[in-house]
Structure 1
């Protein structure tokens, strides 16, 4: 894994945030398509598993954002991160199109880049405990939406298959 020098990597909390980089890399860039520079991770692979894969990817992204919040991400930064996760969940749950989208979008990598920029600009504000409740509510709402959307897709597919038989 190619590590990048970041401001937060030099802070006392570096060991606690190192795993964020590692998990983001695993989810979005772990593997390389042979003969190309195109990289992908577990996120699009998990997306191939209907329902469970989308929920697992969402869970990993949610834990990463919560960790970043606990380590001082600002409210604006968290809103941008939630937008990335929301797009990933919304479009990523669409059969076939979502799988293609997951290969290209890389929400976790985008969120880590946002965190790096946040630290480099000196906007680190210490503990993000004040916005954790809001983030948790947002994540729960995203999860509810994901489950609802997956249910709708499954129901549509069931009716489609039932009409053939």
Structure 2
């Protein structure tokens, strides 16, 4: 898919996930992200998958590494707050991580400059760190609950 067509597709998905609907009588907009986020576990993972797609496209367009790190932090914050029932979904309505990341992508994209191997290594490292930030608290919680014989 060409860069322009991919950006158009990513923009459509970001709008669907973050601002497709408006609460009548207010300026509050939300998308499918907080709705799908109500499904424990799977909802936030599905949303996280789309966030990663935006980041991968940013790497392909040679967005500066510091911007990619910011995009990953936006996605990570969205994913981490999403594990808190209802509060995470309210955060999704206010924060709109996908639209934030898309704005960063559009602002910093430099078409025609291919990403280097170090760009991919950097992104893989950031994704690994974000995965660890999710996995470690879950593993500690599981271990603590098993110590008090809940499992």
Q: Distance in 1 between matches of 2:126 and 2:74?
A: 13
Q: Distance in 2 between matches of 1:33 and 1:124?
A: 37
Decide whether the 8 Å contact of 1:74 with 1:124 is kept in 2: no
Counterpart in 2 of 1:69?
59
Decide whether the 8 Å contact of 1:93 with 1:146 is kept in 2: no
Deviation at 1:35, TM superposition (A): 2.5
Deviation at 1:133, TM superposition (A): 2.4
Counterpart in 2 of 1:107?
97
For 1:49, what is the secondary structure of its paired residue? coil
Q: Distance in 1 between matches of 2:42 and 2:59?
A: 26
Q: Distance in 1 between matches of 2:142 and 2:129?
A: 20
1:85 paired residue among 52, 69, 75:
75
Consecutive aligned runs of 4 or more in structure 1 exceeding 3 Å deviation: 147-157
Unaligned segments of structure 2, at least 5 residues: none
Decide whether the 8 Å contact of 1:51 with 1:150 is kept in 2: no
Unaligned segments of structure 1, at least 5 residues: 1-11
Report the CA distance shift for 1:125/1:13 in structure 2 as closer, same or farther (over 3 A).
Answer: closer
Counterpart in 2 of 1:132?
120
Decide whether the 8 Å contact of 2:17 with 2:33 is kept in 1: yes
Report the CA distance shift for 1:27/1:154 in structure 2 as closer, same or farther (over 3 A).
Answer: farther
Deviation at 1:144, TM superposition (A): 4.2
Counterpart in 1 of 2:8?
18
Decide whether the 8 Å contact of 2:81 with 2:91 is kept in 1: yes
TM-score of the superposed pair, with normalisation by structure 1: 0.74
Counterpart in 2 of 1:94?
84
